[in-house]
Structure formats: C-alpha cells, structure tokens
Structure 1
Amino acid sequence: MARTELHEVSFVDIHGHRRAYVKVGSGPAILLLHGLGCDHTTWNPVIDRLAQTHTVIAPDLLGHGRSAKPRADYSVGGYANGMRDLLSVLGIEKVTVLGHSLGGGVAMQFAYQYPERTERIVLVAPGGLGREVTPLVRVVTTPGFSAAVGVLTTWPLRRLLTTGMRVAAAVGPSLTHDLDEVAEILDTFVDPRARRATRHVVSAVVDWRGQIITMTDRAYLTRRVPTMLVWGTADHVIPAHHAARAQAVAPTIRVALVEGAGHFPHKDAPEEFVALVRDFLETTAPARHNRGAFRAMLRAGAAAPAGGLAVAPSAG
C-alpha cells in the first residue's frame, strides 16, 4: 500500500543524489525528520497545522521514501550533514529541528554539529537516550535480514502479513499498537534498495545488545538550546522512561508525555502534539549561538553553568 502524499513533493540533487522534500507555510523554519523506514508522510497529520505559523520542511532522508537509496553514509552524522546541505540549498539559515525516533538522533546530531543553525530542538520518542529498543529493530542487523524480508514481501505473503498487522493494531492490546506502522514499513521493503539502506542505517546505530549511539554524554549542551521531549506512554519501540533519563542529565529539558500514545504520538494524538509544540515555540526564545560560550561549555563539560537562555519548565 503506497503512503498517501498530501503535499507537493519537490526534488533537488545534492552530491549527485536525489533528495525529496515537502516545503509548506511561511515564517520561522521547522525541520521535520522522520524515523527509520518512514518518510515525510509520517507528518501528514501535523504539517498543515504547523504550517499555519511556520515554514515547514519535511524531507525524505536518504535511503527512504522518494529520495535516492545509494550505497552511502547512513550514520546520524552523515544525515546531519545532508540536512545542513539541503537547508543551504533552500536558503534557510536557522531552524527549529524536530525529529522522531531515528530522526530524533539526527536532530540531536544536527544541533551538536551545527549549533549556529539550531534555534530549538524537539525530540519525539528519540533514539540515543538508552540501550533498550524493540527486537524488531535489532533483527535488521542480522545477516539473513534482506533475504528473509525479500521472501516476506512477495505479494501473497506480504498482503497477509500487513493485513494482519493492521487488524492487530486496530483491535489488539497496547503491545500491538504500532503494528500498522510496521506494516507500512514492510510495504516499502518490496524495493531491495530500501532494504539495503535500512540495514545500513540500523547497523550504524544498533547492534545485538541495543542502541549504540547516545546523547547523554553531550546532553549538558542543551542548557543553551531550548529542548523538548515528547513521548507516548504506550511506546513499545523505545520506552518512555528514557525521557526521565534525559531529564536527569539535562534538567532544563522540557518533557511532555502523551497518555496512551504509542511510538508515533504525532499520529496518535495530532492535536495534542501540535498544541505542545506550539506552546514550546511560543514560550521559548530561539537560541543564539555564541562561540565563546560554547567553547567554555565544552571545556567545563557537564559542570558548565547553564548561562545563556532560560529554558521553560517541564510541561509534563
């Protein structure tokens, strides 16, 4: 089943690879970064609402959606570089970067690599805050993944599996809440290039023990950039208790829990999600990068004084 495109998709070639993106609205810029196996359409329920007050850029990350799927660098650092280049081509200098799951890890890396271009950070059930992650993601790193999924995506079997997943998501317990999204991802794996790209992505961030990447060692840097975490309480992909871990190492982070939502709170509760994001945007001032202050924070590490911007208190 093809994902529904509600907005005009534009394309630009960067470093010889086609990049697909949606750009709507006007005003200060928000960069929306989707998760593993998804594309810009994951933001369909919230794009138009956010575009009422902001310029919204929602790309398909390399290896996903309608963007190219080459043999390339699929690390979070590589993705952050790609987003810097896309924004430069579009003439956008500064953004509030909002990332979901894998996109949350990319958002954190973008803010770390390009603090001068980052006004705020919104992380939605992000990777990088703990080791735990669903076994469905870990299995992607196994040697037989591509061959096995190639069999599972043959037409009769894929139709049976995806239908079963969507039914289970609709009527099953909370544990099956996000299986409709898994079904959407499985549909994309018909393309062997998508399977290969996904394996490269996961291998860069996860091994058999769980997540490899972490932001906790650099979380103190968020003291100078307004940062919010949004998490569904029924998330069985990356557990919501990672939010408390983030707040323990970075007390200025605002945390909002969406009751009953799964791994995709922006789809499960779009109105509440947009209200949370709008309130965050309206009650925080955009970060202004100061090289001297940034250098001092790096030298002091986690003991650095907060200084700079005052981040609004927790909303949840």
Structure 2
Amino acid sequence: MSLSVEVRGSGPGLLLAHGAGGSTAANFPFIDELALRHTVVAPDYPGSGRTPEAHGPLDLDRLADDVVAAAVDSGVETFAILGYSMGTTVAVRAATRHPDRVTSLVLTAGFAHADRHFQLTLELWRQLLDDPDRSALTRFLLLNCFSPATLNSFDEPEWAELIRATAEGVPPGTAAQVDLLRTVDVRDDLPRIAVPTLVIATTQDTLVPPHNSRELAAAIPGARLTEVDSGHVIAVDNPGPWLKAIQDFLG
C-alpha cells in the first residue's frame, strides 16, 4: 500500500524505518539534523502517522517493498537505510530484496528474530493492547522502553504527563505491527548483506536486549558494532551519541 511520507533536505538519500508502535517523527527526533547532509525520506507504516491501517495482516516483504517505493516515488533512487527496532528487520529485508538501491545500513536496537525472551514480551504486549483500559499497557511500555535513570529523572508533573501521553499515543496499527514482530525472521538474509553496516546496541534495553544487536553484527559480513548506554527508546534516553554514531558512519 502507499505509505504517507515526508521528504526533507538534500544530498545522499537516507531512508528511515521506524519501530512497532512508533512513527518516524516519534522514533527519529533529529530528522532536521540528518536533513542538513542527506535527503531524508521518512515513511510511516500502516496504522502509524498519517498512513491508514492495513486491511489485513502485515507482511515483511510487502512492508520492505513499500518503504523502498516511498523513497523511489519521492525521486530518491538510492539510499542508506536507518532502521530502528522493528525497522531493522525492514531494513535488512529491503537490502536483500533491493540490493541495487540500498547503499548502507544503520541498525539500532534491532534483532533478527524473536527469541523466547522477546516472544514472551511480545505476547504480553499483544494481550495488553486488547485491553481498553490503557493503564497496564502504559506501565508495561514505560518499564520496557526507558532506562531506570531516565524514569527517575522525571519530576511529578512530567511523570503524570508522560503517563498520559503514553496512554493516548498508541498508534492504531500497533497490534498488527506487534503481530508481525512475532513472526519475522531475517537470519537467512544476514549473510547476504553486501553493503557497509553499522549495528548500534542499546545496552540497558529490556524490550529488545542488546544480545540481539550483537548477534546481528556477528552475522552480517563486515558489520561494525557500537554500543550506546540507553534503554530501548534511545530517542529519549540518549539521542546525542546515537546521532553522532549515525553521522560518523554515514559521513
């Protein structure tokens, strides 16, 4: 399906692939900074941002093709892909399905498949999404998305606002995106990646623990691994070192 997309900046192409339950705006807080050096293409998955929900289950091949089409239809023929969380699987699949278009990869807080630990987390996340009372879901997300230091840094008014915003900010397509997470497996794709790749592990991540990133780096030929002291939502926990690692690699 056609995805809503925003294009900013000029220079070499950079395609963004966001995480489940997120959007490009929410997951990448430094699009303006990236756009100083790149033509940034920022699509949203079905049910996120301004993209309507899909009529059926999501499929990784189709999602990767649609994200690539968002760039090509915007006039950006070749591009690096910056993938975050579920977006790392989208980026990997795009690189193997469209090797003539993808020039490099940056994979942050990612994974190749949902191991038993991640499956348990996803099953609980999916069950909580079915509950119209968002209180348990909100606490699950806060507990698993932020480091203890970040959680403790909010004063009481900020904490109340964060709880409210988290409860009200769940995109309508999140359930379908989590269902996709439970089935994706790009392990066979990894040895076929033939472009420069940077893997960024989030060391305090309890949603997608850092061993997943280390396994990605070990399986991708020539991949570089760097680690950032952060919970899963690195865009809030520690965006500065994340942006620097991206810019240093792409530059």
Instruction: Confirm or deny that 1:204 pairs with 2:195.
Output: no
Tell me which residue corresponds to 1:281: 250
Displacement of 1:57: 1.4
Tell me which residue corresponds to 1:216: 187
Instruction: Confirm or deny that 1:269 pairs with 2:238.
Output: yes
Deviates more, 1:244-253 or 1:109-118: 244-253
Deviates more, 1:241-250 or 1:180-189: 180-189
Tell me which residue corresponds to 1:226: 196
Contact 2:111 2:216 in 1 (8 A): no
Measured on the aligned residues, the alpha-carbon RMSD in Å equals 3.0
- How many Å separate the matches in 1 of 2:118 and 2:248? 29
- How many Å separate the matches in 2 of 1:205 and 1:165? 19
Specify every segment of 5 or more residues in structure 2 that has no aligned partner in the other structure, as ranges. 154-160
Contact 2:17 2:88 in 1 (8 A): yes
Relative to the length of structure 1, the TM-score reads 0.66
- How many Å separate the matches in 1 of 2:111 and 2:165? 20
Q: Using CA pairs below 8 Å that are at least 6 residues apart, which structure has the higher relative contact order?
A: 2
Tell me which residue corresponds to 2:207: 237
Displacement of 1:85: 2.1
Relative to the length of structure 2, the TM-score reads 0.82
Displacement of 1:248: 3.0
Specify every segment of 5 or more residues in structure 1 that has no aligned partner in the other structure, as ranges. 1-14, 173-179, 207-211, 283-316
Displacement of 1:70: 3.0
Alignment of 1:275-314 (within 5 A): 275-282=244-251
Tell me which residue corresponds to 2:44: 60
- Residue identity over aligned pairs, in percent, reads 25
Displacement of 1:183: 6.8
The residue matched to 1:230 in structure 2 has which SS?
Answer: strand
Tell me which residue corresponds to 1:171: 152
The residue matched to 1:115 in structure 2 has which SS?
Answer: coil
The higher radius of gyration belongs to 1
Displacement of 1:86: 1.4
- How many Å separate the matches in 2 of 1:138 and 1:182? 22
Q: Aligned pair count?
A: 238
Task: Return closer, same or farther for 1:82/1:135 CA change in 2, 3 Å cut-off.
Answer: same
Tell me which residue corresponds to 2:118: 133
Runs of 4+ in 1 over 6 A off after TM superposition: 180-183
- How many Å separate the matches in 1 of 2:95 and 2:250? 17
Displacement of 1:73: 4.5
Which digits, 9 at most, give the CA deviation of each residue in 1:203-236, with x for residues without a partner?
2331xxxxx42322221122x2101111211001
